[in-house]
Amino acid sequence: MKQAERPGLHRWTRDEYERLIDHGFLDEDDPVELLDGLLLVKEPQHSRHRTSVLLVARAMERAFGEGWFVQTQSPISLDDRSEPEPDVCVVRGSPRDYVDAHPRRPALIVEVAQLGLRLARGRKATAYARARVADYWIVNLIDRVLEVHRQPVRPGPAQRHWGYAAIETLGADGTIAPLSAPSAGVRVADLLP
């Protein structure tokens, strides 16, 4: 008996992804994002999730101030195969600086996770570390904590994938300063619904 061929996995490029949108196969408002060449379904926007995204964005605007742009659930370009839409992303400049291309070098990425916690800790953390995002936070709605990922490290004998060497978990009573805004103290409680 002949064994059935295993179907191949197609990894999409950012150009192919944009053509899918341009040709109407995907709508830019569809709940998908491109990560490592895979089209991933984004976490549903339940009330707690959406409230936390808004709270995080407000806190980041206060923490970073002038000269920084805080965008929510909008695309960034990590590499040729990744165009994720993090819940909150902080980049230098203003919205007009990104008229012709998505931001490429975020100072901070924050994902709010409940159902997508495994994805945020796994595939997303790997992609952000590989893109050398120095400051990646996960607002963990299940445990009501902030997981702070810093110091991206490449794969080696001790680890199979890109990741973060420093991971710290802060409770609701904790305070943290973004690496790019070290004088700003952000209270974890201000990020939680």
Let me know if residue 4 belongs to a domain: no
Q: What would the two tokens of residue 151 be?
A: 């110091």
Looking at the structure of the chain, the number of domains it has is 1
CATH number at residue 72: 3.90.1570.10
The average pLDDT across 67-73 equals 95
Let me know if residue 122 belongs to a domain: yes
Confidence at 5, pLDDT banded by 50, 70, 90: low
Q: Cβ contacts of residue 31 below 8 Å, gap of 6+?
A: 41, 42, 44
Let me know if residue 11 belongs to a domain: no
Structural domain span for residue 53: 45-191
Report the SS3 class of residue 50. Answer: helix
Contact in structure between 70 and 61 (CB atoms under 8 Å)? yes
Let me know if residue 40 belongs to a domain: no
Average pLDDT over the chain reads 90
Let me know if residue 39 belongs to a domain: no
Let me know if residue 182 belongs to a domain: yes
pLDDT digits (tens, 9 = 90+) for 134-183: 999 999 999 999 999 999 998 877 677 899 999 999 999 999 999 999 99
Please state, in angstroms and rounded to a whole number, the distance separating the CA atoms of residues 78 and 81.
8
Let me know if residue 66 belongs to a domain: yes
Let me know if residue 6 belongs to a domain: no
